[in-house]
Chains A and B, each alone.
Chain A
Amino acid sequence: MWTYEKKLMYPVKVSTCNPTLAKYLMEQYGGADGELAAALRYLNQRYTIPDKVIGLLTDIGTEEFAHLEMIATMIYKLTKDATPEQLRKAGLAEHYVSHDSALFYNNAAGVPFTAAYIQAKGDPIADLYEDIAAEEKARATYQWIIDQSDDPDLNDGLRFLREREIVHSQRFREAVEIISEDRDQKKVF
């Protein structure tokens, strides 16, 4: 089970009215390397991974939902006051005709989320390597969004999220080392 804290992991501030940025942020909302995919991937892999790293997957998977909530807040702030015309100019007319300004798990190109984005191979090394790759892809996606955005406050939040991906990748790399080491032998590296 989970406990919920009714606040964001990091304060979300957006200072320019630029709904186009909401469209880009959807890549991290419902995209292949987005926060939803990350959370679902890790929390689902927990059941078939060696005990020593289950807790890590729980922690990171849970944190990804906190990131998802930040992305949702960014998208919401950027679209909540936008008129249909502004959304059209932002390339979000297709989104509008289907969802109004409701959030939906689409990527930046409007492709809906699918479970096919994630994997659970059941092989611990294969799964952890996929997780490392997923973190690097999420880090890169944040970079490309920062490159496209000139909102300093939004970028501040995106930089925080990007840094978390670096730390997650580090922890998954450590998880590989933990499950690779030979339990019966004491080794000093």
Chain B
Amino acid sequence: MTHEKTPFRRSFTPFRGLYDPCPPLLKKTYVVPPNLFIGFQPPDFPQFSAIDALKTGTLWTPFYDYYDNPYKK
């Protein structure tokens, strides 16, 4: 429920100049949240159990997006 790979991330490689002072970040990631893709919520949307809904912050599984620091090693 929490840590699986999310479909709601994108990334790009920032331009690397010859004289950039810091080691390159390689990949810059950003979030494309579920609300971008769903439109008006359809009927009979899949739900979490009551307890998981209270934990995650949403009743509806398609809106759930677990977030963690993408740069953490």
Choose from B38, B56, B70 the contact partner of A163 (Cβ within 8 Å).
Answer: B56
Q: Is A182 an interface residue (CB 8 A)?
A: no
Binds B, one of A54-62, A94-102, A170-178: A170-178
Q: Are B66 and A166 in contact (CB under 8 A)?
A: no
* A169 and B57 contact, Cβ closer than 8 Å, known pairs A146-B69, A163-B64: no
B1-16 CB mask vs A (1 if < 8 Å, else 0) is 0000000000000000
Question: B56: shortest Cβ distance to chain A, in Å?
Answer: 6
Choose from B35, B41, B71 the contact partner of A166 (Cβ within 8 Å).
Answer: B35
Q: Are B33 and A143 in contact (CB under 8 A)?
A: no
Residue in B closest to A143 when the chains form the complex, CB atoms: B67
CA distance A102 to B56 in the complex (A): 31
Residue in A closest to B57 when the chains form the complex, CB atoms: A163
Q: Is B20 an interface residue (CB 8 A)?
A: no
B30-73 CB mask vs A (1 if < 8 Å, else 0) is 01011100111100000000000011111010011111111100
Q: Is A147 an interface residue (CB 8 A)?
A: yes
Query: For window 128-163 of chain A, which residues contact chain B by CB distance below 8 Å?
Result: 136, 139-140, 142-143, 146-147, 159-163
CA distance A147 to B31 in the complex (A): 13
List residues of chain A with CB within 8 A of the CB of B38. 170
CA distance A110 to B73 in the complex (A): 31
Q: Are A10 and B57 in contact (CB under 8 A)?
A: yes
Choose from A140, A146, A161 the contact partner of B57 (Cβ within 8 Å).
Answer: A161
Query: For window 51-71 of chain A, which residues contact chain B by CB distance below 8 Å?
Result: none
CA distance A140 to B39 in the complex (A): 21
List residues of chain A with CB within 8 A of the CB of B39. 173, 177
Q: Are A169 and B33 in contact (CB under 8 A)?
A: yes
Q: Are B31 and A143 in contact (CB under 8 A)?
A: yes
CA distance A164 to B65 in the complex (A): 10
* A162 and B35 contact, Cβ closer than 8 Å, known pairs A10-B57, A174-B40: no
List residues of chain A with CB within 8 A of the CB of B55. 160
CA distance A93 to B40 in the complex (A): 48
Q: A residues within 8 Å of B by Cβ?
A: 10, 136, 139-140, 142-143, 146-147, 159-164, 166-167, 169-170, 173-174, 177
Contact sample, A vs B, 18 pairs, CB 8 Å cutoff: A139-B31, A142-B67, A146-B68, A159-B57, A159-B66, A160-B55, A160-B56, A163-B56, A163-B64, A164-B57, A166-B33, A166-B34, A166-B58, A167-B35, A167-B57, A169-B33, A170-B34, A174-B41
